[in-house]
A and B are shown apart, each in its own frame.
Chain A
Amino acid sequence: MTNVALKNNNNTRRIHPQVFALWMGFLSIIMMFIALTSAYIVKQAAGNWLEFVIPNSFYVSTAVILISSLTLHLSYSSFKKGKEFLYKSMLVVTLILACVFIIMQYKGWFTLFEGGVDMKGNPSGSFFYLITGLHAAHILGGIAALVVALLHAFTLPFKPTEKRRVRFSLVLQYWHFVDILWIYLFTFLLFI
């Protein structure tokens, strides 16, 4: 798969087209969650709204995903500096943290369900499951990207070429994005 168009990028623009395309993707994901969170606000204002305490494992998962962003960033800068060991090990750590995040979310849903907050019934519960679930789906996409990055790291010879840097930075930016998205959603669900 040769990307014919990119060779034509003769304009001296700093943004790589693929990175830009990714940002456009962020925009559409943001719109989707804006729609859900504004529907949440409207619904809440209409009354009949169940208030519940968010289980602790969601706090844990928030910490986990924050750390995972840092480890992935460390991996990326090590890749650029040519530190092979740190690059590979931090990538593995990130993938593990990502899986821990999903597990913590799952545990959180379970605690919530056992505490009597069902997906059916009051819309506040339905919204909580829908918003966190849809975010988890985006994390799964991120995990898939991390797996690809990991395969690159362990099957290809270590050579920090520009092409591989761009690819890795796509994974990095997506991961930072779903991290920030979670921080937004979590604070939203916590305070609103």
Chain B
Amino acid sequence: MAELEKVHEEDILIEKLGYDDHFHDHHHGDKYQSNFINHYIFSMDHKIIARQFLITGIIWAFIGAAMSIIFRLQLGFPEADFQWLKPLLGKWIVVENGIGSLAPEFYYALVTMHGTILVFFVLTAGLSGTFSNLLIPLQLGARDMASPFLNMLSYWFFFTAGIVMFYSLFISTGPFSGGWTAYPPLSALPQASTGSGTGMTLWVVSLVLFVVSVLLGGINYVTTVLNLRTKGMTLWRMPLTIWAFFVTAILGILSFPVLASGFFMLTMDRAMGTSFFLSEIFIQGQALDRIGGSPVLYQHLFWFLGHPEVYIIILPAMGLVSEVLSVHARKPIFGYKAMVLSILAIGFLSFIVWAHHMFMSGVNPFISNFFVVFTLIIAVPSAVKVFNWITTIYGGNLRLNTPMLFAIGFVSMFISGGLTGIFLGNSAIDIQLHDTYFVVAHFHIVMGVAAFFGMFAGIYHWYPRMFGRFMSETMGKIHFWGTMIGAYAIFWPMHYIGMAGVPRRYYRFDGFDAFKHFTELNQFITIAAIITFGVQVLFMVNFFYSIWKGKKQTKRNPWGATTLEWSSPIEGVHGNWEGKIPTVHRWAYDYNKDEREFVPQYIPMEEGEEHGEDMH
């Protein structure tokens, strides 16, 4: 074909200004990614691995969300006949007097799996796995991760963890059903409930594999950020996305091993008869000879991960949103240094607040004071970030496209969900609110929906970078408004139910005089959840349709962004840049500066030009 080779302005500039690392001097194109298997399956290219994480994450999100629809049906319509679900759920639909109802054991299993899947597989692996992999090398001007091999292992450990968990859904005793936190004794004694046997064994195996995946990934991300930045890319010139992924990875490296310790002890309690977490238990009418353990010890170990975990989830979303807001408002991010410092502050504080999950577990109330204070202090860096996001878009020349809408939606969700966190962080108010739907509403909005919004903003924004095509704007906007309204319709009413004291994790409420007047509200929530789920199906359609049929990307830098990932070839080449790699001369947010709409990071400073903010 006599096709004219397209000359890209970016290539010329990088060839002129870039740094020659002699990358293409060595001929290694033959062995690297020469066939389908090592190109698309056991790939060591960070761009492919990012897409593997993303698509696996989307599939898990779909499974996890479908589970929530099933248990929402039970909560909204406890009297209804669910025989139509029998083809899907089989024996877990119990038919009595012609009415099929969801087996209570399976209800608990669904709640447990929904939490585990969403927290770990979707919002940890699917979010930070995807975007850390995609953006760390590309935005830093690196050829790939520090260790592409460990990076590949990280994905395959995640994949295996997923397979084990998926398998546990189909065993005859059902998956684990003691809540996603897996507190002992339900998790430590195989005879404690139907799901505590094989289901729990598979759960813990899956999560240990998952911890390995997170550690391999995190070690790689931190090493890459600290060692493989291109010339001129000082720490203070890194985009906020990278700062967020960097701190996220450190949190993971420090907190997941502690969870692993807890799991090892739990496994010994289950399999070898130790009593780390068990004490004086009567089960099935018999007293066990396991004494001396403490279930609260497990809670400490679990939440020492568990609290940093919520920041592992939200920080990447914050980073993505900062970037998307700045690009689409055509304005530099407001208070870059304050943003970085608040990320660091949040990361630090996240390690000294874990016991606020345990106010009602019998920890010393005086110790609770300490945790209350630090929990409330987290509001400060969070408020700094919210203020800076709002000031970033204030007076900007906003492009209200789908990624931007989701980024703004993130800020809205983060404010609504963050405010209720201040209530829950008080140990006194927690006496009333703990384990109610108020908690459910709080964490779903602030780390569930908000993190999803950050992820959606990221997916719509970097979709061209991943697939060389755009997602449909029309479907995207329907997706945004449906999700925005739907999510508030689901979770806003839950605050009221929670304040009235309705406990979470109950199978049905119509038997309680205090709670049965909420039946209509529960039905409303269920219907809203079904509609919102439908909108997510639309997103899936849009996502997979656009991979093959979306509008083609023609310009390398479709959004007019300053960061380096948009200077590399659309099709994504091995080593990220064809010839030289770009060198960096300025920070990542030179928008509307000196009459220029945007100035990419690889463009040198002009004579007399001032650096943005106070970057030098």
Please encode chain B, from 276 to 312, with 1 for each CB lying within 8 Å of some chain A CB and 0 for all others.
1000000000000001111001001100100000000
- Which residues on the A side are within 8 Å of B262 (C-beta)? 35
Q: What's the Cα separation between A2 and B147 when bound, in Å? A: 10
The answer to whether B144 touches A4 (Cβ under 8 A) is yes
Q: Does B224 contact A (CB under 8 A)?
A: yes
The answer to whether A17 touches B297 (Cβ under 8 A) is no
The answer to whether A4 touches B148 (Cβ under 8 A) is yes
Q: What's the Cα separation between A18 and B219 when bound, in Å? A: 10
Q: Does A70 contact B (CB under 8 A)?
A: no
Q: Does B275 contact A (CB under 8 A)?
A: yes
Contact of A120 among B23, B273, B297 (CB under 8 A): B273
The answer to whether A17 touches B228 (Cβ under 8 A) is yes
Least CB distance, B287 to chain A, in whole angstroms: 16
Contact of A21 among B150, B254, B581 (CB under 8 A): B150
The answer to whether B228 touches A123 (Cβ under 8 A) is no
The answer to whether A13 touches B227 (Cβ under 8 A) is yes
Q: Does B146 contact A (CB under 8 A)?
A: yes
Q: A4-B148, A5-B142 are in contact. Are A28 and B219 (CB under 8 A)?
A: yes
Q: What's the Cα separation between A16 and B258 when bound, in Å? A: 27
Q: What's the Cα separation between A42 and B581 when bound, in Å? A: 53
Please encode chain B, from 236 to 270, with 1 for each CB lying within 8 Å of some chain A CB and 0 for all others.
00000000000000000111111011101100100
User: A118-146: which have CB < 8 Å to B?
Assistant: 119-123, 126, 130, 134
- Which residues on the A side are within 8 Å of B146 (C-beta)? 5-6, 17-18, 20-21
Q: Does B231 contact A (CB under 8 A)?
A: yes
The answer to whether A48 touches B292 (Cβ under 8 A) is yes
User: A1-40: which have CB < 8 Å to B?
Assistant: 1-11, 13, 15, 17-18, 20-21, 24-25, 27-29, 31-36, 39
Least CB distance, B355 to chain A, in whole angstroms: 13
Q: Does B545 contact A (CB under 8 A)?
A: no
Interface centre among A2, A4, A20, A31 (most CB of B within 10 A): A4
Q: A10-B19, A21-B150, A123-B292 are in contact. Are A5 and B143 (CB under 8 A)?
A: yes
Contact of A8 among B32, B142, B218, B300 (CB under 8 A): B142
Q: Does A46 contact B (CB under 8 A)?
A: yes
- Which residues on the A side are within 8 Å of B226 (C-beta)? 20
Please encode chain B, from 318 to 350, with 1 for each CB lying within 8 Å of some chain A CB and 0 for all others.
000000000000000000000000000000000
Q: What's the Cα separation between A42 and B304 when bound, in Å? A: 15
Chain A's closest residue to B45 (CB) is A4
Contact of A42 among B222, B230, B260, B297 (CB under 8 A): B297
Please encode chain B, from 379 to 390, with 1 for each CB lying within 8 Å of some chain A CB and 0 for all others.
000000000000
Q: What's the Cα separation between A119 and B229 when bound, in Å? A: 49
- Which residues on the A side are within 8 Å of B218 (C-beta)? 24, 28
The answer to whether A35 touches B301 (Cβ under 8 A) is yes
Chain A's closest residue to B293 (CB) is A123
Least CB distance, A38 to chain B, in whole angstroms: 9
The answer to whether A119 touches B260 (Cβ under 8 A) is no
Interface centre among A6, A28, A42, A46 (most CB of B within 10 A): A28
- Which residues on the B side are within 8 Å of A48 (C-beta)? 291-292
Q: What's the Cα separation between A27 and B265 when bound, in Å? A: 20
Contact of A130 among B227, B265, B294, B304 (CB under 8 A): B265
Q: A39-B301, A46-B294, A119-B273 are in contact. Are A21 and B258 (CB under 8 A)?
A: no
Q: Does A159 contact B (CB under 8 A)?
A: no
- Which residues on the B side are within 8 Å of A3 (C-beta)? 147-149
Least CB distance, B429 to chain A, in whole angstroms: 28
Least CB distance, A158 to chain B, in whole angstroms: 25
Least CB distance, B44 to chain A, in whole angstroms: 8
Chain A's closest residue to B297 (CB) is A39
Please encode chain A, from 101 to 127, with 1 for each CB lying within 8 Å of some chain B CB and 0 for all others.
000000000000000000111110010
Q: Does A152 contact B (CB under 8 A)?
A: no
Q: Does B28 contact A (CB under 8 A)?
A: yes
Interface centre among B226, B227, B304 (most CB of A within 10 A): B227
Q: Does A83 contact B (CB under 8 A)?
A: no
Q: A126-B275, A130-B268 are in contact. Are A36 and B227 (CB under 8 A)?
A: no
Chain A's closest residue to B23 (CB) is A7
- Which residues on the B side are within 8 Å of A35 (C-beta)? 257-258, 261-262, 301, 304
Q: Does B274 contact A (CB under 8 A)?
A: yes
Q: What's the Cα separation between A87 and B230 when bound, in Å? A: 37
Q: Does A43 contact B (CB under 8 A)?
A: yes
The answer to whether A32 touches B222 (Cβ under 8 A) is no
Least CB distance, B218 to chain A, in whole angstroms: 7
Q: What's the Cα separation between A20 and B222 when bound, in Å? A: 9
Q: What's the Cα separation between A9 and B227 when bound, in Å? A: 7
Q: A13-B227, A36-B261 are in contact. Are A5 and B149 (CB under 8 A)?
A: no
Q: What's the Cα separation between A31 and B215 when bound, in Å? A: 12
Contact of B274 among A20, A21, A126 (CB under 8 A): A126
Q: A2-B32, A3-B147 are in contact. Are A10 and B21 (CB under 8 A)?
A: yes
Least CB distance, B387 to chain A, in whole angstroms: 33
Least CB distance, B227 to chain A, in whole angstroms: 4
The answer to whether A8 touches B304 (Cβ under 8 A) is no
Q: What's the Cα separation between A21 and B226 when bound, in Å? A: 10
Q: What's the Cα separation between A23 and B300 when bound, in Å? A: 26
The answer to whether A21 touches B292 (Cβ under 8 A) is no
The answer to whether B268 touches A126 (Cβ under 8 A) is yes
- Which residues on the B side are within 8 Å of A130 (C-beta)? 264-265, 268, 274
Least CB distance, B350 to chain A, in whole angstroms: 14
Interface centre among A18, A34, A39 (most CB of B within 10 A): A39
- Which residues on the A side are within 8 Å of B579 (C-beta)? none
Q: What's the Cα separation between A94 and B301 when bound, in Å? A: 36
Q: Does B75 contact A (CB under 8 A)?
A: no
Q: What's the Cα separation between A32 and B294 when bound, in Å? A: 19
Q: Does B145 contact A (CB under 8 A)?
A: yes
- Which residues on the A side are within 8 Å of B293 (C-beta)? 123
Q: What's the Cα separation between A35 and B262 when bound, in Å? A: 8
- Which residues on the B side are within 8 Å of A122 (C-beta)? 292
Interface centre among B150, B230, B297 (most CB of A within 10 A): B297
Q: What's the Cα separation between A1 and B595 when bound, in Å? A: 47
Q: A27-B253, A31-B255 are in contact. Are A10 and B223 (CB under 8 A)?
A: no
Q: What's the Cα separation between A122 and B291 when bound, in Å? A: 8
- Which residues on the A side are within 8 Å of B256 (C-beta)? 28
- Which residues on the A side are within 8 Å of B145 (C-beta)? 5
- Which residues on the A side are within 8 Å of B498 (C-beta)? none
The answer to whether A123 touches B275 (Cβ under 8 A) is yes
Q: Does B425 contact A (CB under 8 A)?
A: no
Least CB distance, B300 to chain A, in whole angstroms: 8
Contact of B254 among A2, A25, A28 (CB under 8 A): A28
- Which residues on the A side are within 8 Å of B147 (C-beta)? 3, 5, 17-18, 21
26 contacts between A and B (CB under 8 A): A2-B26, A2-B28, A2-B31, A4-B143, A5-B228, A6-B146, A8-B23, A8-B230, A10-B230, A13-B227, A18-B146, A18-B223, A21-B150, A21-B220, A24-B222, A28-B218, A31-B255, A34-B258, A35-B258, A43-B276, A46-B294, A119-B268, A126-B274, A126-B276, A130-B268, A134-B264
- 12 new A-B contacts, CB < 8 A, other than A5-B224, A7-B21, A28-B253, are A2-B28, A5-B143, A5-B147, A7-B143, A8-B230, A17-B224, A21-B223, A24-B223, A27-B253, A31-B255, A35-B258, A120-B275
